[in-house]
Structure 1
Amino acid sequence: MSQTDGPRERGLCLALNTAGELCATAVYDIEKQELLSSCEADIGRGHADLLMEQVAEVLGGAGCDYSQLSKIAVANGPGSFTGLRVGISAARGLALALNIPAVGIGVLEALAFPLLHHGKAVLAVQDARRGEVFAALYAADGSLRATPTAIAPDQLESFCQSVQGQSIYVTGTGGFLAQAAMPNAVLNLVNAQGHIELRVMGQMATGRTAVEAVRPLYLRGADAKPQQAISGIVVDGSLTNNHE
């Protein structure tokens, strides 16, 4: 999870998270490592209706416009099938129109990121519903021990076999399910709401390059109908607003 070496990066990063119940956006100053403006709304559904309004709001709050952005960071899953499609479509469209890179930020990785290098393994686990959780396991040094996957909660104990006997940070909406499934483990529950910090998305995007188009990490098949088309997104490389 280390960033690439090289000259210090500059510019402004637009962070988008539509992977779950929240519709969240922010402008992050890469050089100053500072969150300039952010907006979050717990809406459950309807990300397509709100996302571009939020983008306009955070750009205004940061005192900048689209031309000053140098990178897009978007949560690319796992999460809501329809929410991911909205955020990733917006990120791809903006990146194309502005000729800047868009990078994907894994939800489980972003949940674990603030807890790494603090002396404990980290289990990032989100309630995936339908009797499953999305889980990923990281060692205390930040290395990935078990790749993101969708499993039943009663499989978490074997999933964490490589850190058996160690104290583990557990983060995400599946934290209580993990506690119930692993009664003998030493678990420290953090961020049970499972909300990604927008500042963390900016930090993680710093130094990352877009080697290919951002793709969603679903981990399993769709379980919802697509939302409507995104308002105010890119058509033929130019920004439009469907509300006009």
Structure 2
Amino acid sequence: MKLTLGVCTVGSFLKLSVYNGERYFNFSKKILNQEELFFDKLGELAGKAGGGFGDFGKICVINGPGRFTGMRISYTFARIYEALSGAELYGASVFDALAFNLYEKLSIGGRFRNAGVSVVCRAFKDEFYLCRYEIKKNTLRRVSEPLWLKAGEAAEKLRSFSGTVVGDSEEYGGIYGLSPSAEKAGASVSLIKPENIIKSALYFKKRDIKPLYLKPAKYEDRDKKSS
């Protein structure tokens, strides 16, 4: 039996999902030292799915942005597993996964309501990530490069945005305070859903799982002043 594994270690929650072709078996827990549970939970979920640790044919990884150490955990594991087993690797960003949550929510009878989507996540203290997508002709696609902005800059961009905002409120409960007047995605999709690690990665079909590092706003300011 070949299983599909989804892994997210970039935030404060360890999130895992194993899919056996019929059902998703999920795990999510807030934990500081995620490596302490990582392998035990992988084996446990694989067993529930009817297989074992050596049965992953595809591995889907959330590759950032997020904690440096967390990104390295999933990246290193996936690369070693690929080298030993030949498993296929797929990557999705935090932005991809959150946008896919909304895409899935807006499905009506297999068709999707057209929408502009802004994904916003906290980066550090008063700085935030922002990335835009669109849902058009039943397809979700990214339409901007992700930005790392100061809170005021992010709020200004969201103030003029006419679509739906989706944020990771599980990681930062005040995320929607940046866009009080915008249409918000809702609590059910405002987090990394374990099964959608797999679904979003296979939807976008990106084979690159290299950690996604973004430039902090303070360095953007420095570069602007020196140019």
Per the normalisation by structure 2, the TM-score is 0.77
Unaligned runs of 5+ in 2: 104-111, 217-227
4+ residue stretches of structure 1 with deviation over 6 A?
none
Task: Give 3-state SS (helix, strand or coil) of 1:170's partner.
Answer: strand
Q: How much has 1:123 moved relative to structure 2?
A: 1.7
**1:105-124 equivalent positions in 2, closer than 5 A:** 105-116=92-103, 117-124=112-119
Q: CA 1:192–1:69 in 2, change beyond 3 Å: closer, same or farther?
A: closer
- CA 1:42–1:107 in 2, change beyond 3 Å: closer, same or farther? same
Q: Output the aligned Cα RMSD.
A: 2.6
Task: Give the aligned partner of residue 195 of structure 1.
Answer: 191
C-alpha change, 1:159 and 1:121, in structure 2 (3 Å) is same
What are the Cα deviations for residues 55-92 of structure 1, in whole angstroms up to 9, with x where unaligned? 11111111102343211111100111111111111111
After TM superposition, the structure 1 = structure 2 runs for residues 35-184 of structure 1, keeping only pairs within 5 Å, are 35=24, 37-43=25-31, 45-116=32-103, 117-141=112-136, 142-160=140-158, 164=160, 166-173=162-169, 176-177=174-175, 179-183=176-180
Relative to structure 1, is the Cα distance of residues 181 and 203 closer, same or farther in structure 2, using a 3 angstrom cutoff?
A: closer
Does the residue aligned with 2:210 lie in a helix, a strand or coil? coil
Query: Structure 1 residues 209 and 125 mapped into 2: Cα distance closer, same or farther (>3 Å)?
Result: closer
Question: Using a 3 Å threshold, how does the CA distance of structure 1 residues 112 and 126 change in structure 2: closer, same or farther?
Answer: same
For residue 205 of structure 1, give the secondary structure of its aligned residue in structure 2: helix
For 1:41, the aligned partner's letter is K
CA deviations on 1:85-128 (whole Å, 9 max, x unpaired) are: 11111111111111112121111110110212433322211111
Change (3 A) 1:188 1:205: closer
**Matched position secondary structure for 1:143:** strand
Change (3 A) 1:217 1:15: same
* Structure 1: segments with no counterpart, 5+ residues: 1-9, 222-244
**Aligned in 2, Cα 1:144/1:175: closer, same or farther, shift over 3 Å?**
farther
Say if 1:175 and 1:192, in contact at 8 Å, map to a contact too: no
Alpha-carbon shift at residue 130 of structure 1 (Å): 2.9
Task: State the Cα deviation string for residues 27-75 of structure 1 (Å, max 9, x = none).
Answer: 113x54x31x2222211x2012221111111111111023432111111
What is aligned with 1:15?
A: 6
Percent same amino acid at aligned positions?
A: 23
Change beyond 3 A, Cα 1:81–1:118: farther
CA drift at 1:157: 4.5
2:17 and 2:197 in contact (8 A); partners too: no
TM-score, normalising length from structure 1? Answer: 0.72
**Between structures 1 and 2, the one with greater helix share:** 2
Q: Could you say what secondary structure the match of 1:146 adopts? A: coil
Contact 1:79/1:128 (CA < 8 Å) preserved in 2?
Answer: yes
Per the TM alignment, residue 204 of structure 1 is displaced from its structure 2 partner at its CA by 2.5
Separation in structure 2 between the aligned mates of residue 12 and residue 46 of structure 1, nearest angstrom: 26
